[in-house]
């Protein structure tokens, strides 16, 4: 859906083409197949329940025509007992049938939800650049839940509804074909109305799914950025924007409710007209002939069958509404799973990617003529040549947007290069299995991300059960063990989402300890620019030396001390390597680094002296 001029389109949903229900239902089969046993049990119980349902009016007819009409109380007693047994059996079997159906559905949807989450874990980083978080959360939760309604609300019981309808029609024809024809005459207009509503209902439910994703996307964005919203006094403006999204969601639901209510009211109205027609026919014909057209028991049984006749029709219309909602959710879920931006291709050649021959294994990191663009026509890196030998410390400096962080992302193969070669330990990064490649790195980003858990679980990132001895050793080496042991709970102290409860410096210390705990041969560090107190700064300097010692390090440097201690300094400018050398060599040249040094690091140099 296009966004109006001046409106943001980031939250807009892509329009989906027509999708046949049978195609989508076939996509669900692989998730249901492992849980087929309860589903088969549920399907086998459907005809038994249908038979018990149609047996009740026949028992009633027998009691009226053979018992009451002839005054045979024994028949009435037997009919009453049989009726109670049939009703009890029907409700027991119906419970078992619904329970088995929902059990299979819950398990299948859990598998599908896991598959969507697994996809998101494997998706390439570029995939997330244009995907609002709320939209992806909607896929995992709301859209899968909508699909799960096929089972939870018994929408698949439509098979039983058709079977019940067929048995009821047979019984009505056996009782009186003339009355049956009156009832069957209502089916064509109902079928026409259902077909008319079908396409409109699907569009309405598609709109609901899209509006839900937009609403969740906007809500997620506002919650994550609430500090900025409050700082700029945008609370009222954001409330107006949210009200617009919420109003669109309400209107989409209103359309769906309107179609649902229209179909339900139509079925109810037709059933009433049909019952009135039967009463008129039986009474009018009886008055003209001077005798009953059918026996009293037959007429009562037929009225009960007529009532039962419209029950599965009502259920079918209700389940049809659920089916439209489920199919709209399924379209979104499977459209996501059909996305090709995933990292699990075992052979990069299968993705049409070239793999360079092996190079010098003594080069821990090597970039040769690397080209890369986040967007077509806007290069982020232009012919970058860079290498780091084993144990070498490389500091990368440059203005914002020069391409420093892009180099780190390409070395980790978070993005695919557009040209050139990138090798790690002499081997093209495309030739490494991604998990094996990334096990060779520890990454300390500028914006440290901690997960809800404890200090220990965040340090031991990647281990299901933290090795407390290694956690303590890592924290001791970065000079932070005493700091965290002093907290209530020690290393088991709770950590909130995104590191809630910890200061900026404490989060950075945990990130350094995490790198030491992993103990890889290569470190990629993006130094934080946030100011911290003197004690934390001292701890961070100790942590930096500890984590760099004995390993190859690629540091996006913001501290003068880090640059001075580097074996080489790489100066980036507009996606190119502008200069390379030691700190003193580059200052002596008086080029770009010297100017950058005076502008960016001059104050740090004066403070250090």
Determine the length of the chain.
609
**CB-based burial of residue 608 (10 Å sphere; 0-12 exposed, 13-18 middle, 19+ buried)?**
exposed
pLDDT of 368: 92
- The C-alpha atoms of residue 252 and residue 91 are separated, in whole angstroms, by 37
pLDDT of 580: 92
What is the chain's mean pLDDT, rounded? 79
Between residues 302 and 98, which one has the greater pLDDT?
98
Domains observed in the chain: 21-337 (1.20.1560.10), 363-608 (3.40.50.300)
pLDDT of 127: 73
Q: What is the pLDDT of residues 188-197, one digit of tens each?
A: 877 777 777 7
- Residue 372 in contact with residue 152, Cβ under 8 Å? no
Buried b (16+ CB within 10 A) or exposed e, 304-336: bbbebbbbbbebbbbbbbbbbbbbbbbbbbbeb
pLDDT of 531: 54
Measured CA to CA in angstroms, residue 505 lies from 446, 501, 534, 536, 554 at distances of: 11, 12, 10, 6, 21
- The C-alpha atoms of residue 101 and residue 43 are separated, in whole angstroms, by 8
pLDDT of 1: 39
- Residue 217 in contact with residue 11, Cβ under 8 Å? yes
Q: How confident is the model at residue 85 (pLDDT cuts 50, 70, 90)?
A: very high
Strands, E assignment, 34-165: none
Q: Which residues contact 459 (CB under 8 A, 6 or more apart)?
A: 466, 471, 474, 475, 491, 510, 513, 514, 517
> What residues are paired with 428 via a beta bridge?
423
pLDDT of 298: 74
Q: What is the pLDDT of residues 523-540, one digit of tens each?
A: 888 875 455 566 666 777
Q: First-to-last CA distance in the chain?
A: 60
- The C-alpha atoms of residue 145 and residue 608 are separated, in whole angstroms, by 59
Beta-strand pair 453-454/419-424: unpaired
pTM reported for the whole predicted model: 0.68
Nearest CA among 150, 494, 535, 466 for reference residue 330: 150
* φ/ψ of residue 132, rounded to 5: -60, 140
Over 60: is that where the pLDDT of 286 sits? Answer: no
Q: Which residues contact 358 (CB under 8 A, 6 or more apart)?
A: 423, 426, 427, 428
Beta-strand pair 522-526/552-556: parallel
Mean pLDDT calculated for residue range 545-572: 83
pLDDT of 10: 43
Structure tokens at 69: 């009409």
Mean pLDDT calculated for residue range 439-458: 84
DSSP 357: P
Q: Which residues contact 606 (CB under 8 A, 6 or more apart)?
A: none
pLDDT of 369: 92
Conformational region of residue 248, where left means phi above 0, alpha means psi within -120 to 50, and beta covers everything else: alpha
- The C-alpha atoms of residue 101 and residue 90 are separated, in whole angstroms, by 16
Over 80: is that where the pLDDT of 356 sits? Answer: no
- The C-alpha atoms of residue 436 and residue 421 are separated, in whole angstroms, by 19
pLDDT of 351: 58
Mean pLDDT calculated for residue range 361-380: 89
Q: What is the pLDDT of residues 19-73, one digit of tens each?
A: 446 777 788 888 888 888 998 898 889 889 888 888 888 888 888 777 776 667 7
pLDDT of 154: 60
- Residue 116 in contact with residue 144, Cβ under 8 Å? yes
Residue with tokens 């090709």: 340
Nearest CA among 576, 571, 605 for reference residue 591: 571
- Residue 96 in contact with residue 45, Cβ under 8 Å? yes
Q: CA-based angle 108:324:331, to the nearest 5? A: 60
Other CB atoms within 10 A of residue 412 CB: 20
pLDDT of 20: 47
Over 70: is that where the pLDDT of 290 sits? Answer: no
Over 50: is that where the pLDDT of 287 sits? Answer: no
Mean pLDDT calculated for residue range 272-289: 68
pLDDT of 17: 45
Buried b (16+ CB within 10 A) or exposed e, 351-360: eeeeebeebe
Mean pLDDT calculated for residue range 528-557: 74
pLDDT of 318: 67
Mean pLDDT calculated for residue range 333-356: 66
SS3 385: strand
pLDDT of 5: 40
Sheet arrangement for strand 522-526: 441-444, 522-526, 552-556, 393-398, 568-573, 576-581
Q: What is the pLDDT of residues 385-440, one digit of tens each?
A: 999 999 899 989 888 888 888 998 899 888 888 899 999 998 898 888 888 888 88
HSE-up of residue 221 (Cα within 13 Å, Cβ side): 16
pLDDT of 289: 46
> What residues are paired with 517 via a beta bridge?
none
pLDDT of 294: 61
């Amino acid at each position: 859906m296009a966004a109006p001029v001046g409106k943001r389109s980031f939250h807009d949903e892509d329009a989906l083409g027509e999708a046949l229900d049978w195609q989508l239902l076939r996509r669900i089969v692989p998730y249901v197949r492992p849980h087929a046993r309860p589903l088969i049990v549920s399907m086998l119980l459907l005809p038994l329940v249908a038979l018990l349902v149609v047996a009740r009016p026949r028992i009633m007819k027998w009691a009226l025509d053979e018992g009451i009409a002839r005054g045979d109380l024994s028949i009435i007693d037997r009919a009453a007992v049989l009726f109670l047994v049939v009703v009890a059996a029907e409700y027991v079997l119906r419970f078992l049938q619904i329970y088995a159906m929902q059990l299979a559905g819950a398990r299948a949807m859990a598998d599908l939800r896991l598959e969507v989450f697994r996809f998101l874990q494997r998706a390439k980083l570029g995939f997330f650049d244009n995907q609002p978080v709320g939209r992806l959360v909607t896929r995992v939760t709301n859209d899968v839940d909508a699909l799960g309604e096929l089972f939870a609300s018994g929408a698949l019981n439509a098979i039983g509804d058709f079977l019940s309808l067929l048995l009821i029609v047979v019984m009505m024809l056996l009782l009186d074909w003339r009355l049956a024809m009156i009832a069957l005459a209502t089916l064509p207009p109902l079928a026409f109305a259902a077909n008319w509503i079908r396409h409109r209902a699907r569009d309405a439910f598609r709109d609901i799914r899209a509006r839900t994703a937009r609403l969740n996307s906007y809500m997620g964005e506002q919650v994550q950025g609430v500090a900025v919203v409050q700082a700029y006094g945008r609370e009222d403006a954001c409330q107006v924007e949210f009200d617009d999204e919420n109003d669109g969601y309400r209107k989409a639901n209103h359309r769906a409710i309107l179609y649902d209510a229209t179909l339900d009211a139509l079925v109810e109205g037709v059933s009433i007209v049909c019952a009135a027609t039967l009463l008129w026919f039986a009474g009018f014909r009886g008055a003209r002939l001077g005798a009953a057209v059918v026996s009293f028991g037959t007429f009562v049984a037929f009225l009960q069958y007529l009532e039962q006749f419209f029950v599965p029709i009502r259920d079918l219309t209700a389940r049809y509404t659920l089916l439209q909602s489920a199919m709209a959710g399924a379209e979104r879920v499977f459209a996501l799973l059909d996305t090709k931006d995933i990292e699990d291709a075992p052979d990069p050649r299968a993705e049409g990617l070239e793999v360079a021959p092996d190079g010098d294994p003594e080069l821990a990191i090597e970039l040769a003529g690397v080209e890369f663009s986040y967007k077509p026509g806007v290069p982020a890196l232009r012919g970058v040549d860079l290498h780091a030998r084993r144990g070498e410390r490389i500091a990368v400096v440059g203005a914002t947007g020069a391409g420093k962080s892009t180099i780190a992302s390409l070395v980790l193969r978070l993005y695919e290069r557009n040209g050139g070669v990138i090798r790690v330990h002499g081997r093209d990064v495309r030739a490494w299995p991604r998990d094996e490649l990334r096990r060779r790195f520890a990454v300390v980003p500028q914006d440290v991300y901690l997960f809800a858990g404890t200090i220990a679980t965040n340090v031991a990132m990647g281990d299901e059960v933290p090795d407390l001895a290694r956690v303590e050793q890592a924290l001791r080496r970065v000079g932070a063990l005493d700091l965290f042991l002093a907290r209530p709970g020690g290393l088991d102290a709770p950590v909130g989402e995104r590191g809630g409860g910890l200061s900026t410096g404490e989060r950075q210390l945990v990130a350094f300890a995490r790198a030491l705990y992993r103990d890889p041969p290569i470190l990629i560090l993006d130094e934080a620019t946030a100011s911290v107190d003197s004690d934390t700064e001292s701890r961070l300097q100790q942590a930096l030396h500890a984590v760099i010692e004995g390993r190859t390090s690629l540091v996006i440097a913001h501290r003068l001390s880090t640059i001075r201690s580097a074996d080489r300094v790489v100066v980036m400018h507009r996606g190119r390597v502008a200069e390379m050398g030691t700190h003193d060599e580059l200052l002596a040249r008086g080029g770009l680094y010297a100017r950058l040094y005076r502008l960016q690091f001059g104050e740090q140099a004066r403070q250090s002296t």
